[in-house]
Chain A
Amino acid sequence: ETGVTQSPTHLIKTRGQQVTLRCSSQSGHNTVSWYQQALGQGPQFIFQYYREEENGRGNFPPRFSGLQFPNYSSELNVNALELDDSALYLCASSFSLGSSYEQYFGPGTRLTVT
Chain B
Amino acid sequence: NAGVTQTPKFRVLKTGQSMTLLCAQDMNHEYMYWYRQDPGMGLRLIHYSVGEGTTAKGEVPDGYNVSRLKKQNFLLGLESAAPSQTSVYFCASSYVGSGTYQETQYFGPGTRLLVL
Q: Do A and B come from one complex?
A: no
Residues of A within 8 A of B (CB): none
